[in-house]
Amino acid sequence: MQRYTGEGNGKTTVLELLQKEQIFLPADCGGRGTCGKCKVQFLGGAPDPLEEEKKKLSEEQLAEGVRLACRCCPDGPFEVAFEQAEEEIAVETIQTDGRTGGSSGHHAVAIDIGTTTIAAALLDTERQQILDSRTCVNHQRAYGADVISRIQASNDGKGEELQQLVQKDLQQLITEMGEDPETVPAVIAGNTTMEHLLQGLSCETLGVAPFTPVDISLHQKDNYLILPGISTYVGADIVAGIVASGMDQSEEVCMLIDLGTNGEMAIGNKDRILVASTAAGPAFEGGNISCGVAGIPGAISRVTVTDGAVQYETIGDKEPVGLCGTGVLEIMYELLKEEIVDETGLMDDDYVDDGFPLTEGIVFTDRDIREVQLAKSAIRAGAETLMKEYGVTYEGIHRLYLAGGFGQKIDLKKAAGIGILPEELIEKTEAAGNSSLAGAVLAACDPAVRQRFEQAVLLSEEVSLSESRVFNDLYVEYMFF
């Protein structure tokens, strides 16, 4: 447990006070009091609990002085204790080639700025070798688990704070790899919101129609080369995935799906590409799940349930602290298999009130089931809508690339079992890992590849799922398991 002693003014929340001290608690909801994850225990100066806190905390917790940091504004001296924030996230980076045989001295850094995590690779550009790779938490996570929360925070006057957080994260990663963050050439890929926040660009037009970004072109910003995006919700991370997978040069029709918060996807070949983004939510990154965590040591990542008995594995074989994305998928599959949850998502009466227990203090609730339904339905409906718009069936897809750390680690059978992926594509599916970082590596090592990024943008056409009747019909259909 960590402790913090401070002085409240009756107007500033504990969450905000901690953020000013560079202490970042999980706050998936962006401080709206809905996720219930920013719990602190008051050791002195506890304010009276609000009604919304009482819904998130048990009577026992309230009696012990537990409060939601985002919902209480102490007036005067106070002291709180809290669990260590999520810092050690196990995330997919990219395989290094090592430093054998010395270095040419021509170095650059490729960076993927994800909503949850940031990954970086140090490159010898002359020898086209990956010398080192590092990851860290994107500390903007303290302002919400998804891009909508970040956009809102920026528009509420937190833009400079968000920019400073991501800049500090990048500086730390680059310094750890032995380079000067002020001078080393760096190539940046990320979704449109992340790239806007990094550059200090206004997010006011990102969250309202017609959703117009300020600048998503390929351009230089100090020593950073910012890779281009397609639209507000299909950013440079997907363009990087298109290039890294080779879809933009393929004769056959391929599909790329990033199973992240934004549910971005693309389908096509060298002649035509359609792209889309669907609000899948952060369930498959552990967000908005009652006992969900990022991929940190102790996160439950594998689950088997047999006759009600639970077996699980955790990241690093540590004591369980919660469910990460793969754990969420697997418990959902297992509960369906055991008929503890039916095809509509209704949980057995024995578990409706308190949830299904995996181990002490970690449960899976009916509310969590709804989050999974929303996420998997959005992804599956989005993919099939793109296919229909493109005029291709499952048989016509040569390869499905699953991007992101979640896509790297999921059990494809279980993913198909809950309906994220169709069984027809399992044999054609390939885990692409961090394709955003892989694309940034290609652009950093070979300047000629950068032209492919610009061509991929020109080749791509966005399909608006929110205006698609096909998507809406499929979305309702795939809410069922």
Helix (H) or strand (E) holding 85: none
End-to-end CA distance of the chain: 40
The torsion angle over the Cα atoms of residues 281, 284, 285 and 291, rounded to 10 degrees, is 100
Q: Is residue 205 part of a domain?
A: yes
With cut-offs at 50, 70 and 90, classify the pLDDT of residue 448: very high
Q: Write down the pTM of the prediction.
A: 0.88
CATH of the domain at 173: 3.30.420.480
pLDDT computed for residue 86 by the predictor? 58
Contact 71, 39 (CB under 8 A): no
- Same domain, residue pair 35 and 151: no
With cut-offs at 50, 70 and 90, classify the pLDDT of residue 234: very high
Q: Is residue 366 part of a domain?
A: no
pLDDT computed for residue 104 by the predictor? 63
- Same domain, residue pair 228 and 121: yes
Which of 238, 261, 280 marks a domain boundary?
A: 238
Residue 350 has pLDDT above 60, yes or no: yes
- Same domain, residue pair 140 and 220: yes
- Same domain, residue pair 118 and 74: no
- Same domain, residue pair 202 and 116: yes
How far CA 181 is from CA of 70, 228, 384, in Å, comes to 33, 21, 42
pLDDT computed for residue 85 by the predictor? 59
- Measure the CA–CA gap between 120 and 96, rounded to whole angstroms: 11
Kindly state the average pLDDT of the residues 462-476.
94
pLDDT computed for residue 134 by the predictor? 92
pLDDT computed for residue 296 by the predictor? 82
Helix, strand, or coil (residue 19) = helix
DSSP string, 32-83: SSSS---EEEEEE-PPPPPHHHHHHS-HHHHHTTEEETTT---EEEEEEEEP
Q: Is residue 371 part of a domain?
A: no
- Measure the CA–CA gap between 218 and 384, rounded to whole angstroms: 30
pLDDT computed for residue 31 by the predictor? 85
pLDDT computed for residue 140 by the predictor? 92
Which of 30, 65, 82 marks a domain boundary?
A: 82
Q: Express each pLDDT in 121-135 by its tens digit.
A: 999 999 889 999 999
- Same domain, residue pair 196 and 77: no
Q: Express each pLDDT in 241-271 by its tens digit.
A: 999 999 999 999 999 998 877 789 999 999 9
107 bridge partner residues: 124
Which of 184, 203, 238 marks a domain boundary?
A: 238
Contact 303, 358 (CB under 8 A): yes
- Same domain, residue pair 131 and 34: no
Q: Express each pLDDT in 405-428 by its tens digit.
A: 776 788 999 999 999 999 999 999
Contact 132, 96 (CB under 8 A): yes
Q: Is residue 344 part of a domain?
A: no
Q: Express each pLDDT in 386-407 by its tens digit.
A: 999 999 999 999 999 999 877 6
Question: How buried is residue 100: exposed, middle or buried, by Cβ count under 10 Å (0-12/13-18/19+)?
Answer: exposed
Q: Express each pLDDT in 47-79 by its tens digit.
A: 888 877 777 788 888 888 999 999 999 999 999
Helix, strand, or coil (residue 241) = helix
Kindly state the average pLDDT of the residues 355-379.
95
State the average pLDDT for the chain.
Answer: 91
DSSP string, 269-304: -SS-EEEEE----SGGGTTT-TTB--S-TTEEEEEE
Task: Note down the domain range covering 72.
Answer: 2-82
Helix, strand, or coil (residue 119) = strand
- Same domain, residue pair 58 and 122: no
User: Residue 467 is encoded by which pair of tokens?
Assistant: 């205006």
Residue 438 has pLDDT above 80, yes or no: yes
User: Residue 439 is encoded by which pair of tokens?
Assistant: 């694309």
| Amino acid occupying residue 280 | A
Q: Express each pLDDT in 85-143 by its tens digit.
A: 555 665 556 666 656 555 667 899 999 999 888 999 999 999 889 999 999 889 998 88
Q: Express each pLDDT in 184-219 by its tens digit.
A: 999 999 999 999 999 999 999 998 888 999 999 999
220 bridge partner residues: 225
Contact 256, 266 (CB under 8 A): yes
**Who's near 33: CB < 8 A, 6+ residues apart?**
50, 52, 53, 56, 68, 70, 71
- Measure the CA–CA gap between 364 and 443, rounded to whole angstroms: 42
Question: How buried is residue 363: exposed, middle or buried, by Cβ count under 10 Å (0-12/13-18/19+)?
Answer: middle
With cut-offs at 50, 70 and 90, classify the pLDDT of residue 84: low
Taking phi over 0 as left and psi of -120 to 50 as alpha, with beta for the rest, 474 belongs to: alpha
DSSP 8-state assignment for residue 347: B
Task: Tokens 């800049």: give the residue.
Answer: 167
Q: Is residue 268 part of a domain?
A: no
- Same domain, residue pair 111 and 231: yes
Kindly state the average pLDDT of the residues 291-317.
92
- Same domain, residue pair 47 and 119: no
pLDDT computed for residue 93 by the predictor? 60
pLDDT computed for residue 20 by the predictor? 87
- Measure the CA–CA gap between 119 and 96, rounded to whole angstroms: 13
Helix, strand, or coil (residue 237) = helix
Contact 111, 172 (CB under 8 A): no
Phi/psi for 137 (5° steps) reads -70, 140
- Measure the CA–CA gap between 34 and 144, rounded to whole angstroms: 11
- Same domain, residue pair 117 and 232: yes
- Measure the CA–CA gap between 460 and 101, rounded to whole angstroms: 41
- Same domain, residue pair 75 and 124: no
- Measure the CA–CA gap between 107 and 122, rounded to whole angstroms: 7
DSSP string, 405-452: HHHHH--HHHHHHHTSS-GGGGGGEEEEESHHHHHHHHHHH-TTHHHH
CATH of the domain at 16: 3.10.20.30
pLDDT computed for residue 90 by the predictor? 56
Contact 117, 242 (CB under 8 A): no
With cut-offs at 50, 70 and 90, classify the pLDDT of residue 275: very high
Number of domains in the chain: 2
Q: Is residue 78 part of a domain?
A: yes
pLDDT computed for residue 121 by the predictor? 96
**Who's near 175: CB < 8 A, 6+ residues apart?**
181
Residue 476 has pLDDT above 80, yes or no: yes
Q: Is residue 19 part of a domain?
A: yes
Q: Is residue 136 part of a domain?
A: yes
pLDDT computed for residue 193 by the predictor? 96
With cut-offs at 50, 70 and 90, classify the pLDDT of residue 25: confident
